[in-house]
Structure 1
Amino acid sequence: MSFPVPPWDETQIRAYFAREDLAPRYSALLGFAFTDVSVDEMWFECTFNPGKELCSPWGAIQGGFVTAMLDDTMSLAAISTVGFDGVVPTLEMKTSFFAPVMPGPVRARGQVLKRGKKSFFTEGRLYAPDGTVTTHATATCIHRPHEQVKRDRARQARGEANLAGD
């Protein structure tokens, strides 16, 4: 598959996620699998299948891994709305745990609630196999287009500080 130049449309996003070999290593660790996306409605759905190696001593998935699942899902909702042009690093995030997440399949949905020129306000939910919400999160992230990311990397290579405002 040759990658189209961003911005990608919904068909190109779906084609990308059909390639399991392209998933980042951390996504594989969490058991990520793409389910669905709607660019127009600004949501992204996926499943995770965390294993016992991610459990706390009492048997539930450790909260940091649960938070990572929702962070990933909300970020994917945001980056989908801009056609995967660049990155959308999280600026702040709040996670509420309603029930333990046990090893095995869970469903996640990320939604962009509000999109500004550069910022996104998102929410995410993690669902147990029976459909109950186990975890809810909200986050703010900022869009950094590919051209800006290239400039940032060049600055890093030269040992210069990144300037968030450019």
Structure 2
Amino acid sequence: MSELTLAHPPVPDRPAELSGLEHLRLLADGTLPPPPMNVLLGFDLVEVDDGRVVFAATPSERLYNPLGSVHGGFAATLLDSAMGCAVQTRLPAGVGYTTLELSVNLVRGITAATGPVLCTGRAIHVGRRTATAEGRVVAERTGKLLAHGTTTCLVTDLES
């Protein structure tokens, strides 16, 4: 099995004094390096606002499954990232989250010919213990819906 060397170092722990929104804005503007998984799968955090984030990615043949299309896990991971980060934008300093449940609907096949895709995550509810969000993956060129999903997250205190 081949080993992947990352072009960026792992992201440092979120400083305790930063809110989720502040942290994500530092990632989006390049002040902090992207998480290694974003580098691996080619995800770019391109918009961050209160309760909403947008990731951009360009699917390639290196993500193909045996049937000759992009593996569904690509869209699922993109949705999980966007929906989780949408929740994170609403979390105060010292508070984090983890995915409890992820539901993904793949409505169109994705190939390299699809071109760049955009994934928007929106927080629906962020409470003291749980949060929910929804997301959509669309083809940037056509605006066609490729996948959509929902998530439930557990809201937790960040470890010191």
| TM score, norm. by length of structure 2 | 0.79
Provide, for residues 19-70 of structure 1, a one-character-per-residue CA deviation record: whole Å limited to 9, x for no partner: 286112211122111211211xx11111112321111123221011210110
Which amino acid is 2:152 matched to? T
Unaligned runs of 5+ in 2: 1-11
Structure 1 distance, partners of 2:92, 2:61, is 35
> CA 1:48–1:108 in 2, change beyond 3 Å: closer, same or farther?
same
After TM superposition, give the deviation of residue 8 of structure 1 in Å. 2.9
Residues 1:58 and 2:67 are matched in the alignment: yes
2:4 aligns to what?
Answer: none
Q: Percent identity?
A: 25
After TM superposition, give the deviation of residue 96 of structure 1 in Å. 0.6
Structure of higher CA gyration radius? 1
Structure 1 distance, partners of 2:93, 2:121, is 15
Structure 1 distance, partners of 2:38, 2:93, is 17
Provide, for residues 72-121 of structure 1, a one-character-per-residue CA deviation record: whole Å limited to 9, x for no partner: 11011111111464431110111111101223421000011112212111
> CA 1:51–1:91 in 2, change beyond 3 Å: closer, same or farther?
same
Greater per-residue strand proportion: 2
> CA 1:91–1:31 in 2, change beyond 3 Å: closer, same or farther?
same
CA-based RMSD: 2.3
- Equivalent in 123, 136, 142 of residue 148 of structure 2: 136
> CA 1:4–1:101 in 2, change beyond 3 Å: closer, same or farther?
same
- For residues 18-97 of structure 1, what are the structure 2 equivalents within 5 Å? 18-19=29-30, 22-39=33-50, 42-83=51-92, 85-97=94-106
Unaligned runs of 5+ in 1: 151-166
1:164 aligns to what?
Answer: none
Runs of 4 or more, structure 1, over 6 Å off, are none
Greater per-residue helix proportion: 1
> CA 1:96–1:58 in 2, change beyond 3 Å: closer, same or farther?
same
1:121 aligns to what?
Answer: 132
Which amino acid is 2:91 matched to? V
2:107 aligns to what?
Answer: 98
1:145 aligns to what?
Answer: 157
Structure 1 distance, partners of 2:61, 2:147, is 18
Which amino acid is 1:32 matched to? F
Residues 1:109 and 2:120 are matched in the alignment: yes
Given that residues 32 and 46 in structure 1 are in contact (C-alpha distance below 8 angstroms), is that contact kept between their aligned partners in structure 2? yes
Structure 1 distance, partners of 2:75, 2:60, is 12
